[in-house]
């Protein structure tokens, strides 16, 4: 397994205050990106992934991705790192402790309740989601607001496909996601400094951008609990915290949703959270990042390297104000 730098690891801290906790986060680093060698869409590796549980379930064997680099030529991050270095605060804030605490987390049966401003509200089981929406591989960079990044081969489907079936009404302007809330099973939810459940949101045009997917797998395998099983959002041009895990509820709404991070620290986390090397986090620079598995830092790319695909979404907006 790739050696981590101690500076990537959020220390175990006592939660004397949310500020102290958030301050502790400042020493860490994170996030993601895309890859793939497809002709029309550079993010598709060209494979339609069958909805089979996995290519291999044998412990110690790295499962398969059909690609080995992203569309910029960045190598995909090792499977071991992707499944063992995680942010999932419902379990713990210790990135390397999530895997142990999440081991027995039950993710089937699982239902996602979808409603709000839609003509066709519905509650869908994870099995039905897998049946209805066939997964394809997308190799994306993921860039964490903490300053680290990975390149991950996801299996998922465009969120736009689900939205099309729901038929949002004309009043719907945003989409709001909620993660599971179950403090009995999720030890991190006993930490009341966070306004559980984890909530995130997107503008409707962001949600229907082709890059935005709901992921059910990575590296050709079903998602493991630590990566947000059974279904999570992946929005590769935004900081990783927007990519909400283990989703149980989706609502179409007319007002901008308030995310857990906006609620916790409004001066530090905005709604948009677009990767932007020239807008620093109030307590650290966003100019560079460390790719997990590498030791030196690399420049952070505007919109995490997806400028061509998403710049038009923010035309006329001040990205310093709308951070």
Q: Minimal distance in Å, beta carbon 150 to ligand MTE?
A: 6
Smallest distance from the beta carbon of 98 to ligand MTE, in angstroms? Answer: 7
Q: Is 89 in the site for ligand MTE (CB under 6 A)?
A: yes
219 binds ligand MTE (CB under 6 A): no
3-state SS string over the chain?
CCCCCHHHCCCCCCCCCHHHHHHHHCCCCCEEEEECCCCCCCCEEEEEECCCCECCCCCCCCCCCCCCECCCCCECCCHHHHHHCCCECCCECCCCCHHHHCCCCCCCCCEEEEEECECCCEEEEHHHHHHHCCEEEEEEEEECCCCEEEEEEEEEEEHHHHHHHHCECCCCCEEEEEECCCCCCCHHHHCCCCCCCCEEEEEHHHHCCCCCEEEEEECCEECCHHHCCCCEEECCCECHHHCCCCEEEEEEECCCCCCHHHHHCCCCCCCCCECCCCCCECCECCCEEEECCCCCCEECCHHHHCHHHHHHHHCCCCCCCCC
- Contact characters 281-310, ligand MTE, x per CB under 6 A: ------------------------------
Stretch that binds ligand MTE, among 10-18, 88-96, 111-119, 274-282 (CB under 6 A): 88-96
CB of 170 to ligand MTE, least distance (A): 30
- By CB under 6 A, residue 155 contacts ligand MTE: no
Q: By CB under 6 A, is residue 144 in contact with ligand MTE? A: yes
45, 77, 149, 227: residue in contact with ligand MTE (rule CB under 6 A): 227
Residue 88 C-beta: closest distance to ligand MTE, Å: 5
Q: How far is the CB of 316 from ligand MTE (least distance, A)?
A: 29
> Which residues in 20-59 contact ligand MTE (CB under 6 A)?
30-31
- Give yes or no for residue 149 binding ligand MTE (CB under 6 A): no
Question: Which one, 8 or 47, has the nearer CB to ligand MTE?
Answer: 8
Is residue 244 involved in binding ligand MTE (CB under 6 A)?
yes
Kindly state whether residue 198 participates in binding ligand MTE, applying the rule CB under 6 A.
yes
What length does the chain have? 323
Instruction: Indicate the residue among 165 and 193 with the shorter CB distance to ligand MTE.
Output: 193
Contacting residue, 45, 86, 189, 300, with ligand MTE by CB under 6 A? 86
How many CB atoms sit inside 10 A of residue 104's CB?
A: 8
Interface with ligand MTE (CB under 6 A), residue total: 18
Task: Compute the distance between CA of residue 127 and CA of residue 130 in angstroms, rounded to an integer.
Answer: 5
Contact flag: residue 99 with ligand MTE (CB under 6 A): no
- Regarding 243 and contact with ligand MTE (CB under 6 A), the answer is yes
Q: Give the Å distances, CA to CA, from 47 to 63, 130, 239.
A: 15, 16, 26
Residues near ligand MTE (CB under 6 A) are 30-31, 86-90, 144, 179, 198, 227-228, 240-241, 243-246
């Amino acid at each position: 397994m790739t050696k981590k730098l101690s500076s990537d690891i959020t220390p175990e801290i006592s939660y004397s205050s949310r500020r102290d906790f958030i301050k502790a986060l400042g020493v860490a680093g994170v996030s993601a990106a895309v890859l793939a060698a497809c002709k029309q869409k550079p993010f598709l590796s060209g494979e339609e992934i069958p909805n089979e549980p996995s290519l291999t379930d044998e412990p110690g064997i790295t499962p398969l991705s059909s690609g080995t680099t992203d569309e910029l030529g960045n190598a995909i991050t090792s499977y071991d790192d992707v499944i063992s270095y995680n942010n999932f605060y419902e379990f713990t804030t210790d990135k390397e402790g999530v895997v142990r605490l999440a081991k027995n987390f039950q993710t089937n049966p699982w239902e996602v309740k979808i409603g709000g401003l839609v003509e066709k509200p519905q509650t869908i089981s994870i099995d039905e989601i897998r049946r209805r929406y066939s997964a394809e591989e997308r190799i994306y960079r993921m860039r964490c607001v903490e300053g680290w990044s990975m390149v991950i081969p996801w299996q998922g489907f465009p969120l736009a496909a689900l939205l099309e079936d729901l038929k949002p009404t004309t009043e719907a302007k945003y989409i709001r996601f909620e993660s599971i809330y179950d403090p009995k099973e999720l030890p991190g939810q006993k930490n009341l400094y966070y306004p559980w459940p984890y909530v995130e949101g997107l503008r409707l045009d962001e949600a229907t951008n082709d890059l935005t997917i709901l992921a059910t797998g990575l590296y050709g395998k079903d998602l493991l609990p630590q990566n947000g099983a059974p279904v999570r959002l992946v929005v590769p041009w935004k900081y990783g915290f927007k990519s909400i895990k283990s989703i149980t509820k989706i609502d179409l709404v007319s007002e901008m949703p308030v995310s857990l991070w906006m609620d916790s620290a409004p001066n530090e986390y905005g709604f948009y959270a677009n990767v932007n090397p020239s807008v620093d986090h109030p307590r650290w620079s966003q100019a560079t990042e460390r790719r997990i598995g590498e030791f030196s830092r690399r420049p952070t790319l505007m919109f995490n390297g997806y400028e061509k695909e998403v710049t038009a979404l923010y035309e006329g907006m001040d990205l310093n104000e709308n951070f």
